[in-house]
Structures are given as structure tokens and as C-alpha cells.
Amino acid sequence: MNSAKSTVPFKGTPEQEAQLIAVIDEKKDDQGSLMPILQKAQEIYGYLPIEVQKIISDRTGIPLEKIYGVVTFYAQFSLYPKGEYTISVCLGTACYVKGSGDIYDKLQEKLGIAGGECTADGKFSLEACRCIGACGLAPVLTVNEDVYGRLTVDDVDKILAKYA
Amino acid sequence: MKTLEELKVVRESMEGEVALRTHGNASSKYERHVLVCGGTGCTSSGSPKIIAKLKEELAANGLSDKVQIVKTGCFGLCERGPIMIVYPEDSFYSRVNVDEIPRIVKEHLVDGNPVKEFLYEETVVGDEIKALDDTAFYKKQHRVALRNCGVIDPENINEYIGRDGYRALGKVLTEMKPEDVIQTVLDSGLRGRGGGGFPTGMKWKLARNIVPDADIKYVCCNADEGDPGAFMDRSVLEGDPHVVLEAMTIAGYAIGATHGYIYVRAEYPIAVERLNIAIKQAREAGMLGEDIFGTGFSFDIDLRLGAGAFVCGEETALMTSIEGNRGEPRPRPPFPAEKGLFQKPTVLNNVETYANIPQIILNGAEWFASMGTEKSKGTKVFALGGKIKNTGLVEIPMGTTLREVIEEIGGGIPNGKKFKAAQTGGPSGGCIPAEHFDIPIDYDNLISIGSMMGSGGLIVMDEDNCMVDIAKFFLEFTVDESCGKCTPCRIGTKRMWEILDKITKGKGTLEDLDKLEELAYHVKSNSLCGLGQTAPNPVLSTLKCFKDEYIAHVVDKKCPAGVCKDLLSFEIIKDNCFGCGMCARQCPASAITVTDYTAPGKKKPAYSIDKDKCVKCGACIATCKFKAIIKK
């Protein structure tokens, strides 16, 4: 949450809003429905800017500050849009003891961004994640849905080239 | 399916099918079953492509009606994934490549000759093929919680029923009083598999009795497996989701609840999908919903997804999160059995705990209590990872020694390296040094040596891992994941991390070590929830067992394992240097230059490293063919 990506203007469409409202109306009377609503909202918009949180607040009656509190608490929710490709490097213990920290460093160096940031062209965002459970393939990283395992630092260039 | 009779019909029609995969000689509609692992590990290494290719090749050879392809959950030996097993021969194909499929189909499935060169090498002894259960990895395992993983298709409720599925629920609802169910679980000695080890039956008893007039009660399942490097619960959910639904329904009957929630990590997409399918099928089959088996008992389950907060594995934080709030823990008492979810009496158990329940009901408390040690009954699933040959999922009777797990089942440390420590309990646990190798693993023994069972992550470290760096790694994790509600955890862990950072950078003093220890005890005794109370464990256990490594960092300013970059220096042994200059070309900092010294017997002058310019990247060592460069 440190980089200045909040300057990206909100580009929600009426279709997205209609989708969100349908979700809210379906769930809002369930006990403890805020989390499932936020998760759906993030699926619809890709992130949870304040504009989206306002729609949820207006429609459910849950105060905006509470929604903001929940959004900022959980690592999965993002206030900023992500890159076209999200690279997640597993820093779980099994991967870490096999050198995933070096791979993460190398990616930061190659992309010129820190973890949690997005490249200026909007292509890649980089994040560390905690164990995706493919410990047999350690060290592991994912690019969107693709999983790359049994990596060495030298594989980083090849992987990036695939998405360039 | 509304009656026990109907359940029996389904079971009998399926028994032969699934028995082919366990006994070999059973009456199946198919000649052969080909089981392909659809767990996260094998899916990541390409099992969906293997299934697609298999279908294509079977069709081409006219075998589609004779060979059944089953996408299962985890077989355990993730290191050798993707895995494929052919029954009735019990042929274990490992690290299967799509290109190998046509040959396997032709030679094995058409001609009946297993392709030996693609089999897991340990199963091939000369001309013979060894049974999988006789291999070192599987021999000492005993599968209770994982009994259906890698055996059934988790997306088909009938296969679960064919393996005695929902029979325990039928027995409970028609033959047992809630009190009897609780007594059976109590007598079995089952303790919570999520880490704490609280007796499960006791939890149920409290939830049943503590608020006698409660109108609503809840049953929750903790599937928020957050320990990095642990994937036991995920494998159960992916391989056998119905067992959790059945056990939760039994718990609901025992305590008098009608509704359950499963709180599962959103990072486990395959587990979430299979749970959704399982819930839908269970509802359609009448195993969830109104009036189950016509007994008047109703129970239903909803899924709630986590959103990436480790603290939500703590029971009160998990419930706060289900309620739709920031997942911050609440002080206890009141305990969840009295005021849990939505302030109602609640039972919360983890996935593996539930996975034991139906077997306990069917086989009896005595059967379960016959396994394990005096105070830790049954088996425990561990996710074996790190510097170990056989990475994977293992289930062993309590009381098995660490040596058996690491050297026999795990196959030892790769690359001839020396074992340094085993880490259990994740960020809440500790590191176990080699001197405790023969201690039988159970709840109490692990605590007595400064670690804990935790949920079952077991990470092996070798001589190349720096224990100070590992302690710092775990602290970084807890600093990141601390919810910030209480001060000792929020600020204490951060200060501890800062001291560790200082030590790994060679700026620590002996006084820092004392301060670190004192602070660790403060954080441990004053934090609100389990996260903070256990966060100092990795530091305390490494301080206790690997004090010499801390001293080396602080006094000698050296990292014996060669991990902490600030404490390393690189040097060329001039008499070993052939003067080829490869290292100088690789060096990104131009820190390597040629000298005027030529070693005896060498033709070119040797090189040397300018320590002021060196950035310690290690590129030179990796390039040197003559092992003339050392780091120390």
C-alpha cells in the first residue's frame, strides 16, 4: 500500500456496477456477508477503490469506515489496480530454505520495482506470497494462473521473456 | 437418497470399483483404473495435460470403455509428481511426462506390460516390481485421515460412499445418543490437530452442556491453513472433501447445532472448488439439509473464504472474520463453547481433526486409542519439505521418531549435506537439532524440547541454512501478520526483528542477545492470542539450540552457514587459480582483477577480488570450474 498507484483514475462501467448491486442484494441479508461481498466486488473490478467501497456502503448500510477497515486488514484485498501479469513468489518456509528469497530479489532488480508495486507500463506487478502448497516443486512462483517450479535464479529471465 | 437402505445400495454398487484400487482383485466394470493426482502439487506440474492426453490415447486404442481415468487427491509423494498409478497392477509412474503417455497406453494398457523405465525407480527391483506399500516412503506410514486421498475421485460422492462414506453419520443418527457420540470421541483420546492439542471430545462436551438453553449453536471448520510450508489440510480438502462434511454433521448432532461454516483459505482454489462440489452433491443426496436419513435431524454447511490473514487461523479471530469484521482475536474467556460465532456456543475443529471422526465412530474409540503414545493417540499428518529427498505428505502413528521420518520416509538430505535442524509448528514452533533425532513425535515431547506439533509442517534444514536467518525469516512473517490489536505482539515482534536484523548484518553485540531473549519472554507472556504468545518460539529455540551460531555472528562477525551476505567475504585461492579469467568476466561489480602472481605449475597469472568493490553476489563461485574461489 506504499506506492502511489491510487492516482490511477477509477474506470468502473455501469455493467460492473449492476453486477455488484446484484451481488449485494443477493447476499446482504446473510449474517456476516461483508467479506463475501468484498470478494465478489474484487472479482468484478479487480481491486477495491474507494468508489466501490462507497457503493457497498450505500447499499448495505454498513459504515464506510468499517468497510475500509476490513479492506485494509486482509492481504487479499487491494486498493490499487494490479498489473496485467501478477508475479507471486512463494516465500513460504519450504521455498525460502531452497532459495526463493534470491529469486524474489532478482525479480525486483529485473523489473525495477519493489514487492507490492506495479511496473510503470502496467504490465507486471510483483508480490510475495505465503505458500501456495506446491512444496514439492520448491522454489515456486506463479504468473497469474501459471505455476513455475524447481526454479533457480537463472530461470527468471526466461520466464519474464515469455510475457514480454 | 433418503434412507440408510438406499445408502447401502449405493455403497455395495461402488465397493467393487474402489476396492480394485486397494486390494487388486475386485469386481470392477473396468479392466483397469488409471489414477492421476489432481492435487495442487501435481496440477502445477502438469497433471491436467496428462489426463487430456490419456483420454485421447485411450480413445485412439479403443480402450475408453475398458479403462477408467480417475482424477484423485494427493498421493503424498509430491517430490515425484506428477504421479499416475495403474490398478490392479499397482504400477506407480512418477514425474510423468505427456510424451510418455502413448507408450504407457500401448505397452501397459493395451499389451499388459508396465513400462519399467517410467516407473518410480524404487519400485523396480531387477525384474520384479515392488508394491508401493513396500517402498521406504510408504512402508512406515499409516493412513487414517488420508485414507481416501489418492484412492477416490473427490468430485464423486458415490466413490466416497463406496469407501464407507456417510456410514458413520447413519450410525450416529440412528443408533447413538449425542452423549454417546461425545463419549466415544472423548474415549478415543483424539486431540486437536490444528496445533493446540486440546481434547476434541472435551470441546464437544463443553459446547453441548455449557449453555443448556441456547437456541442456536454452530459447528465450524478451520481450514485456514496458514503455516508457510504446510499443506495437510489442503490435501484432505482436495482429496476427500466429504469426510469433513460428514464429520461436521456428526459434530452438529453431538452438540445440538444445525448449521456449520467452513472457513477456507482463498489461496486454495482447487480445495474451494471441490468443497463446493461436495456440498452440492451432499445436499442432493440428502446427506446435508432437512431431515437427514428421515431421523428429523437437519444440518447444513456454508463455505466462507479467508482473505489472506494468518491470524485468522486463531479460533476467535476466525469467528470474528466469518462475522464480516477485521479478523482480530478476542480475549478468552468467554471461550467459543460458550460465546463463539455470532455470540452463540460454537465448536471449532480443524480439517485433519474432523477427518479422523468417521473412522473413530465406525471402528470404535479403542481402535483409535490403540495407535500412538500414552497421551497422543492416533496418527498425525506432516507436510515434509525443505532440504529433504522425498518432499510430500506423510501420515505416521504418533510416537514415530524424527529419525524414521527424515531418514527412512523422507529419504534423508539431498546432495550429501549434513542435517542441521527440523522445524515444526511453523512460525509458532521451534527448530529441533540433531541431538533430539530419536525422540518419539507427540504433542508433549515436542513441547518439552521447545517446539510444538503445530498443524504439521515439518521443514528440514541442512548445514547451508543459517539459523539466525531462519529466526529472522519467521519473525518477519509474524511482524507482517500481527493484527496490531495488542501492544506486545505489534511492537515486541518488530523490535525483536530489528535486533535479529542487526545481528545478521554483523552489528550485534552480546548484550543484544540478552535483550532479545528478555523481550521474547515478554512477548510470549503478555500477548493476547496464540499468534503473539508463540511468535518468539523460533527465536527462543534457536537461541537455545544454536547459540554458537548467534555467537559467531556477534563476536566473530561470521555467518558459519554462509548465508548472511554482510558477513561474507569472497577470496580466490591463488595457488588453485588457472588464470582463465571467467570470474572476472562474470563479476557485475568489476571487483576481480588479474595479479602478477603465477602459481607453480600454472601458465597464467592468478586473479584476486577487491573486497571493497565486491557485492557478494556469488556469481564468481558459480562460474569457477576449478573451485578456486571460497566464501567464508
Beta bridge pairs of residue B379:
B397
Could you give the CA distance from residue B386 to residue B396 in angstroms, rounded to a whole number? 19
The pLDDT value recorded for residue A92 is 85
Banded model confidence at residue A8, pLDDT cuts 50, 70, 90: low
- Asked if B385 and A134 come within 8 Å (Cβ–Cβ), the reply is no
- Mean pLDDT of successive 10-residue stretches along chain B, which has 632 residues: 89 90 79 94 92 96 95 92 92 95 96 94 89 91 95 96 96 97 98 91 96 94 88 94 98 97 91 97 96 96 93 95 95 94 96 98 97 96 94 95 95 94 92 94 92 90 95 94 95 97 96 97 96 95 96 95 90 92 89 92 92 85 89 80
Contact B443, B191 (CB under 8 A): yes
- Long-range pairs for B494-497: beta carbons < 8 A, 24 or more residues apart: B495/B519, B496/B520, B496/B523, B496/B536, B496/B539, B497/B472
Give, for B173, the enclosing helix (H) or strand (E): helix B167-175
- H, E, C per residue of B380-444: EEEEEEECCCCCEEEEEECCCEHHHHHHHHCCCCHHHCCEEEEEECHHHCEEEEHHHCCCECCHH
**Complex ipTM > 0.90:** no
pTM of the model: 0.91
Contact residues, chain B, for A31 at CB < 8 Å: 323-324, 342
Radius of gyration, alpha carbons of chain B: 27
- Specify the 3-state DSSP secondary structure of A121: coil
Q: Is B133 exposed, middle or buried (0-12, 13-18, 19+ CB in 10 A)?
A: exposed
> Which residue type sits at B593?
T
Cis peptide bond N-terminal to B333, omega within 30: yes
Q: What is the pLDDT of residue A4?
A: 40
CB A90 within 8 A of CB A98: no
| DSSP designation for B364 | -
Compute CA distances B432 → A120, B29, B423, whole Å: 45, 50, 6
**Pairing between β-strand B84-87 and β-strand B32-37 as defined by DSSP bridges:** antiparallel
Three-state SS string across B2-61, please? CCHHHHHHHHHHHHHHHHCCCCCCCCCCCCEEEEEECCHHHHHCCHHHHHHHHHHHHHHC
Tell me the residues of chain B between 371 and 400 that have a Cβ less than 8 Å away from chain A: 383, 385-387, 391-392
Residues 462-481 of B with CB under 8 A from A: 465, 470, 473-474, 477
How distant, in Å, are the alpha carbons of A12, B222, B563, B623 from that of B588? 46, 49, 20, 13
Please tell me the predicted confidence (pLDDT) of residue B24.
64
Q: Which amino acid is at B477?
A: F
Q: Residue A138: its chain B contacts at CB < 8 A?
A: 385-386, 391
Q: Which of A121, A130, A88, A122 is nearest to A107 (CA)?
A: A88
CB contact (8 A) between residue B228 and residue A137 = no
At residue B336, what is the residue type? Answer: P
pLDDT band at A2 (very low <50, low <70, confident <90, very high): very low
A chain contacts of residue B327, beta-carbon cutoff 8 Å: 73-74
pLDDT in the model for residue B267: 84
Distance CA B632, CA B627 (A): 14
Indicate which of B312, B326, B531 best probes the interface with A, i.e. most A CBs within 10 Å of its own CB: B326
Q: Could you give phi then psi for residue B52, rounded to 5 degrees?
A: -60, -45
The angle, 0 to 180 degrees and rounded to 10, between the axes of the packed helices B167-175 and B4-19 is 150
> Chain A contacts of B230, Cβ < 8 Å?
131
**Residue of B391, B394, B616, B617 best to disrupt the A interface, most CBs of A under 10 A:** B391
Dig out the grid coordinates for B45 from the structure.
506440474
Interface of A with B (CB under 8 A): 31-36, 38-39, 66, 69-70, 73-77, 91-98, 129-138, 140, 147, 149
Q: Quick one: cell of A133?
A: 502448497
Strand residues in A47-161 grouped as ranges (E) = 85-90, 124-129, 141-143, 146-148
Query: Please, what is the end-to-end C-alpha distance for chain B in angstroms?
Result: 69
B484 vs A: CB within 8 A: no
Give the pairing of strands B392-397 and B592-594. Answer: unpaired
CB pairs under 8 A between A and B: 133
Confidence of residue A6 (pLDDT cuts 50, 70, 90): very low
Local structure of A71: helix, strand or coil: helix
Q: Is the separation of the CB atoms in B299 and B292 below 8 Å?
A: yes
pLDDT at A5 over 50: no
The residue to which cell 558459519 is assigned: B560
A-chain residues near B305 (CB < 8 A): 35-36, 39
B576 touches chain A (CB under 8 A): no
Q: Do A38 and B342 touch (CB under 8 A)?
A: no
How many other CB atoms are found less than 10 A from the CB of residue B491? 15
CB contact under 8 A, A133 and B305: no
The one-letter code for the residue type at A138 is A
- Compute and round to an integer the Cα radius of gyration of chain A: 18
Q: How do residues A11-39 score in pLDDT, each as one tens digit? A: 889 999 999 999 999 999 999 999 999 99
DSSP single-letter state for residue B211: S
Q: Residue B354 and residue B262: Cα distance in Å, rounded?
A: 12
CB-facing half-sphere around the CA of B326: CA atoms within 13 A? 16
Prior bond of B433 cis (ω within 30°): no
Pairing verdict, β B392-397 and B259-264: unpaired
Give the chain A residue whose CA is nearest to the CA of B385: A94
Distance (Å) from the alpha carbon of A93 to chain B's nearest alpha carbon: 5
With an 8 Å Cβ cutoff, are A32 and B323 in contact? yes
Rounded to whole angstroms, the Cα distance separating B195 from B198 reads 9
Give me the residue label for grid cell 516407473: B119
CA B225, CA B233: separation in Å to the nearest integer?
7
| Domains of chain B from N-terminus onward | 31-131 (3.40.30.10), 157-369 (3.40.50.11540), 379-462 (3.10.20.600), 467-554 (1.20.1440.230), 569-631 (3.30.70.20)
Q: Using CA atoms, how far apart are residues B396 and B378, in angstroms rounded to an integer?
A: 9
